[in-house]
Every structure is written in C-alpha cells, then in structure tokens.
A and B are shown apart, each in its own frame.
Chain A
C-alpha cells in the first residue's frame, strides 16, 4: 500500500495564444493527451484579508465551477514560489499551493472572518487532464472581467484577441524535480504554437504559430516529406 503523497506544491507555466489559433491548439492537445476535453467555466473570486486580521497579507482564491449543474466551490491558497539557484534552473515555476473542496458557504465564511473582495474574474474555455510522467492539467481559457460586481453573465474578455494557456501539475517537496521535467517536456510539444514560461515572464507569440495552426486545421494534404 502506498502512502499518499501530500501534494502541497504545484509546477506551473503560463503562455498566451491568439484566439484565432485556439482551435488548432485544441486539436493538438487532443492528439497529445488522448482524453476528451472538458469545458471550463470558473468564477474566480480573490479575497484578501483586511489590515486588522493578522500581520501578514494573505490572499485566498475561491473558485466556483459553473459548468456543473450544481456549482461546486473550491478554495485555493497560493504560496510563495521556490527561490534560489536551483529554482532558476528549472524552467517551470514551483510554488506551494493548497486546494480543497468547500461548501457554498465559503464566501460568507471568509467575509465573516474579515476577508474582503479584491478582484474577481471569469474563465471560460476548456481543459485537458492526463498523466504523462505526472498528472498534468492544461487549461486554455479566455479571461473575462465583470464590470458590475458578480455579474458573471455580463463578463467581457480582458484581452479579446488573446487567451491564456496554463499547464499545471501537483507536486510535493520530494518529487517536484520529476514533475517539473515532465511538464517542461510536455511543453516542448506545444512549441509550434506557443511558448510557455513562468508566470510573470512574458513570452510573446510564436512566429510559427500561424503556419502550425494552418497545418493543424487543414486536411493535411499540403506537406510532403
């Protein structure tokens, strides 16, 4: 019997892709992952604690999955990223992350504790979850903002022409190197379409994206070897 490893960290990379190439990316991911895509519609509420609550600023994210018939809530706390020379050599970001399913009273509970709403956003897109050296989740979504408080039906994209791609994998302190390697090797497959980098590091678009997308979308008759 294996002891369940406590996965309190995650490896994460982010990238951007132009909206016109999202379909091609989906085809590529479909082929690479071998699983069906899952639709994604998540209302993310970010709460920060007030000045009277503790010495350290703390931030908590509540994710409400609106895709299910019964909205399910998750609370997530993202900690600091690993630092140091070793961390710089890894091409993915490794950071502490704790996640848990919660009931729908979570928002009220945090307000009662003194947390205040900092910002909220709505992610609409799809995701793939598969195992390739590690349990990897790829999320492609358009990030929408709400002009009125909690008006998820009236959300508009922050950047209409660009969508966010995130590749994450849970890890623990013992195995994060392997997980990081698995994630980065998977990312190489996506190289024709987009570049992925640590959150906060900007990458720009890939020059071959258009051609790769065209090739993916076409019936494949064009290229000869």
Chain B
C-alpha cells in the first residue's frame, strides 16, 4: 500500500501545479471526457481542446493541494523509516521493544496514510495517471503496477478458492447457490459476534484496556456543541486574559502553607496591598531582642538599668515569631533624627498584625521575664512583675493605637529640650533610673537615643500621657541602693519627688495588679506631676517609659558608661 502511494507521488513530483501559461502539459493529463463528468470537467475539456493549455480548475487544484500531499507523504515516509530504524536498533541491541510505543506510532502512521489516500481519492476522479518518468528501474514493474488484472499466482489462488466454496453447488441454479452462500455467511457472522462478545467480556473481567476504539460516534448534537463552545470560551478567556481566575481582594490573603517555590519568596501579604508596609515595623520589633542578660547584684541592677536605658533606646521585648515577617536590616534606632526612624514611628503595623504580634510576643516576653525574675533579688522582682504586667496591658492597648504617639510625647513633655524633637518611646525607656541624672544633661542624652522603634509600645505610652511614672528617683534615692528608687516608696530628699513618687507608688502598685485601670491613674499623676515638671523634666521621659512598659527594666541590663558617672554626680 505504501508502495503504491510512493509510486503515485513519484509521478506527482513531475507535476507543476501552478497556473502557468506554458504549453507544457501537466502530467500528460488526459481529461476524462466522459459524458457524466461534472461541469468543471467539461469546462476543462473544452479548454484543453481550445487552447492546448492545461489549467487545473482552481477548486480542484486547491482540494488536491499537491504540495501538501507531497509534504505529507514525505513526512510519512520519514516516520516510517524512523520506526524501521527503531526496529533495527532493537534487533541489534537485542532489547525488548516497547510495544505500546510502537503500536502507537504504527497507528499514527496508519491514520496518516489513510488520510492522505482518502484525500487523494476525493480528487482523483477527474484525473488519470500516465507514466512520464519512466526509466530503467520502473520499466519492469510499471505494467504490473498499472494493471488491474490479478497476478497469475493470485489468479490461480482465487479460482481455487472459488471452487472450494462452490463445491457442492455447481449444479444447482444460481439462486439457490446464492441462498446457500448467504446462509453460510450468516452463520459465520454469528460465530464472529459470539467470539467478540466473549472477548469483550473477558477484557472487562480482567480489566484490559480496550485497544479497539469505540464505534464512530455520531456527530455532536446542538446542545453538546453549545456546551463545548461555552467551555471553550471560558478556557480561552482564562488563558489569554485571565477571566475567572481573579480572586477578590478580601480573599487574597496568603494561606498558611505556601507551596515550596514560593515559601522563601514571600515575606508579607501581597495582593492588593503594597508590599513592604509592615516590614520595617516588624524589623524594629525583632531587632531589639529582649535583653536576656542575667541581672547581677543589686548594685549592678541600677547601674545596668540606667545604662541600658540610655543605650537601648528601642529595646523591644517583642520578638516577632511570625514566619511571614521579614528580617530586614537592623533598624537605625540610635539615630533619633534619621528619617527612617521617624517614618517608622508613623507607620504602625496594621491592627491585625499588631495584635497578632502581641499575642505571639506576650508569651515569650513572659517567659523571658520570668527567667529574669528568677535572677533578680526579690524587690527587683516585684518591680519587674509590676512593670511587666503594666507593659502587657499597655501592649494590649497597642493594637488600637496608631501613629501619632510621638507627637503627643513631645507635646506632653513640654520640656524645652524636647520640643521640636520627636520623642519616641525610646525616651521612655530611658526613664527609670535616669531620673537621678541631671535633668538637663540627661535630657540631651536621652533625646539622642530617642530613635524610633518600639512604636507599638510607645503608642501605648501615647494614651497614657507621658508621665511621670517616673519612679525614680533621682537624687532623692538613698545611695544605699539604687534599687529602692525603682520602688515607689522613695524616701527621697526631694519633697516634691516624694510626693509625686508616692503618688506614683500608689498608682504603680495599683497598676501592678495589671489592670488597665492603671492607665487612668497615670493620667492623674501626670497632671500632678506636670506642675512640678521642672524637677521631673528628666523624669517625664521616664514616665513615658514606665507606661510603655517596663521594658526599661529589661533594658537596664546594658551598661552605659555615662550613667554610672552621672549617678555618682547625683549622689554627690
């Protein structure tokens, strides 16, 4: 079969399928001059007669599409040769061929061949072929290929089979012969059907795949076609434009588990929101780890507390544990006037993030604080506990706070030095223990470290006016231990202070209970203390610190050289 096809294409190769004005006859075509020919055929015949030129009718030409047929034949040839090569390779290497693949390829080839021949059959009616390209190779085989008579061997075979078939029936009339043959055919057909049925049943029983495809399905009815059309439009729109694939904004939050290829790519929620919104805040939160140094002796406590207050303006007890938050570079907290610090203060994380952070952080904070508690002497522990509780309550308030804390700080402080500066909560931290420091000097130093950070914490301080929670102390504190100054029962020299501090004490203790009502009390204190603000100038910031939570205490573990010096000064 394939040979026949190649044979045809060989001849077709000499065909020039163009509308040329040349005299040359295309394939030496003899137009079929039969009467029953189509109009086109007759027209062409007429043309031939008249002009001795050959122009294939355009439609036939297009349908025939000789170039395409040629290409298809060539590619088919290549495919078959490829299969043959594969077989060769199998034979040589003595490996078992993959029959599935081979059968697949064979069926492809089969289909293609069938299609080509079918196409040619459709258009071959007006044409007949006569050999033009005869050479030594073709000459012998040509008559055989062109003949319609059977080969001698085939002919004898045919007659013998016929005899066998009609053996007993030669004598009978034709009609009965026909009937008998029909009966035989029916029997055989019945037997075949039975066999096929058995095969199908067995296949199902053993779950073989049916290689026999289904019978040719009827053409799609309109309903089905409409459905398919609709599906197609959906699919094309989805691929090209993205229709039907867009998730509404409110559903665009990242699920807990990102696929692997995106896990390390993402840092915060993307989607409609701008990407880096909360990252800087988180950085601040994270980059100020809880100071976990062990508290030294009593003396060291105070010393370290002061130093820490100065040095760690943005110490944050919050440790962001959320995996989705980015580890940005360490925040430039020490630079109070750096743009980033101020910006960060203003950009609070969204309430969601804040609360989630806090929730995550509170347990860890508590843990760490507990650790420290163990190390502290008891008094200190008490104070710590109070402060921690306060802080936590303050932190809970954080979620609702936004923005403006710094401004309020600066306003409330009212100290000249603070005006115009953005006091951040960093100031607050400096609070405790710094009260003894010279207010003027201290102020400058403190403001240096105001830095940003801990916006969350400081936002709490915002609501609780900056006050004066200053527990401290200052010179009033007996030199015996700085610790007492942390405590509220100061017997300081400064009557004002005592007064204030006593007030504070009361407040503080009440707050120690960790009730949010404590916040209110602070406000009262503030009012009172503002009157004596001069003395408490330095303490103002401290008060803020206290409000924002006693992280100051935690920060006290850092050593700050100035502090000790100053303290000595004060005590002197």
Across the interface, do A27 and B104 meet the contact criterion of CB distance under 8 Å?
yes
- Given A215-B114, A218-B213, are A118 and B259 neighbors across the interface (CB < 8 Å)? no
Across the interface, do B240 and A199 meet the contact criterion of CB distance under 8 Å?
yes
The answer, among A46, A108, A189, for a CB contact under 8 Å with B75, is A189
Closest to B213 in A: A214
A216-B246 Cα distance, complex, nearest whole Å:
38
Across the interface, do A143 and B117 meet the contact criterion of CB distance under 8 Å?
no
Across the interface, do B213 and A217 meet the contact criterion of CB distance under 8 Å?
yes
Answer yes or no: A119 CB below 8 A from chain B CBs: yes
Answer yes or no: A22 CB below 8 A from chain B CBs: no
Across the interface, do A225 and B113 meet the contact criterion of CB distance under 8 Å?
yes
Closest to B71 in A: A185
A64-B103 Cα distance, complex, nearest whole Å:
35
Minimum Cβ distance to chain A for residue B396 (Å): 30
Answer yes or no: A1 CB below 8 A from chain B CBs: no
Q: Residue-by-residue, is B1-32 near A (CB-CB < 8 Å gives 1, otherwise 0)? A: 10000000000000000000000000000000
Across the interface, do A111 and B275 meet the contact criterion of CB distance under 8 Å?
yes
Answer yes or no: B264 CB below 8 A from chain A CBs: yes
- Given A112-B275, A220-B110, are A202 and B232 neighbors across the interface (CB < 8 Å)? yes
Interface hits, A24-66 → B, CB 8 Å: 27-28, 30-32, 34, 43, 46, 64, 66
Across the interface, do B68 and A188 meet the contact criterion of CB distance under 8 Å?
yes
Closest to B108 in A: A31
Answer yes or no: A134 CB below 8 A from chain B CBs: no
Across the interface, do A159 and B231 meet the contact criterion of CB distance under 8 Å?
yes
Give the contact stretch, choosing among B214-222, B459-467, B549-557: B214-222
Give the contact stretch, choosing among A3-11, A83-91, A147-155, A168-176: A147-155
The answer, among B216, B232, B234, B246, for a CB contact under 8 Å with A210, is B216
Complex contacts, B254 vs chain A, CB 8 Å: 149-150
A114-B233 Cα distance, complex, nearest whole Å:
31
Minimum Cβ distance to chain A for residue B205 (Å): 20
- Given A145-B238, A210-B217, A220-B107, are A153 and B232 neighbors across the interface (CB < 8 Å)? no
- Given A112-B275, A164-B239, A216-B107, are A66 and B213 neighbors across the interface (CB < 8 Å)? no
Complex contacts, A71 vs chain B, CB 8 Å: 260-261
A200-B236 Cα distance, complex, nearest whole Å:
7
Answer yes or no: B258 CB below 8 A from chain A CBs: yes
A97-B107 Cα distance, complex, nearest whole Å:
37
A108-B264 Cα distance, complex, nearest whole Å:
10
Answer yes or no: A107 CB below 8 A from chain B CBs: yes
Answer yes or no: B172 CB below 8 A from chain A CBs: no
Answer yes or no: A180 CB below 8 A from chain B CBs: no
Answer yes or no: A100 CB below 8 A from chain B CBs: no
Complex contacts, A185 vs chain B, CB 8 Å: 68, 71
A130-B264 Cα distance, complex, nearest whole Å:
35
Closest to A105 in B: B265
A195-B262 Cα distance, complex, nearest whole Å:
36
Across the interface, do B82 and A34 meet the contact criterion of CB distance under 8 Å?
yes
Answer yes or no: A158 CB below 8 A from chain B CBs: yes
- Given A149-B271, A153-B259, are A215 and B107 neighbors across the interface (CB < 8 Å)? yes
Interface hits, B203-225 → A, CB 8 Å: 211-214, 216-217, 219-220, 225
- Given A28-B108, A200-B236, A202-B232, are A219 and B103 neighbors across the interface (CB < 8 Å)? yes
Complex contacts, A222 vs chain B, CB 8 Å: 212-213
A225-B111 Cα distance, complex, nearest whole Å:
11
Across the interface, do A149 and B255 meet the contact criterion of CB distance under 8 Å?
yes
Complex contacts, A213 vs chain B, CB 8 Å: 213
The answer, among B71, B111, B252, B267, for a CB contact under 8 Å with A212, is B111
Complex contacts, B276 vs chain A, CB 8 Å: 112
Answer yes or no: B294 CB below 8 A from chain A CBs: no
Complex contacts, A189 vs chain B, CB 8 Å: 72, 75, 112
Complex contacts, B113 vs chain A, CB 8 Å: 225
Complex contacts, A28 vs chain B, CB 8 Å: 108, 111
Answer yes or no: A161 CB below 8 A from chain B CBs: yes
Answer yes or no: A101 CB below 8 A from chain B CBs: no
A152-B260 Cα distance, complex, nearest whole Å:
10
Complex contacts, B71 vs chain A, CB 8 Å: 185
Across the interface, do A150 and B258 meet the contact criterion of CB distance under 8 Å?
yes
Assuming A107-B266, A149-B254, A218-B212, what are 18 further A-B pairs, CB within 8 angstroms?
A16-B236, A27-B105, A28-B108, A32-B108, A43-B259, A114-B274, A150-B255, A150-B259, A162-B228, A188-B68, A213-B213, A214-B213, A216-B104, A216-B107, A216-B108, A218-B213, A225-B114, A225-B117
Residues of B within 8 A of A (CB): 1, 68, 71-72, 75, 79, 82, 101, 103-115, 117, 211-214, 216-217, 219-220, 225, 228-229, 231-236, 238-240, 242, 244-247, 251-255, 258-262, 264-267, 270-272, 274-276
7 smallest beta-carbon distances between A and B, as pairs? A214-B213, A31-B108, A119-B242, A71-B261, A119-B245, A27-B104, A111-B275
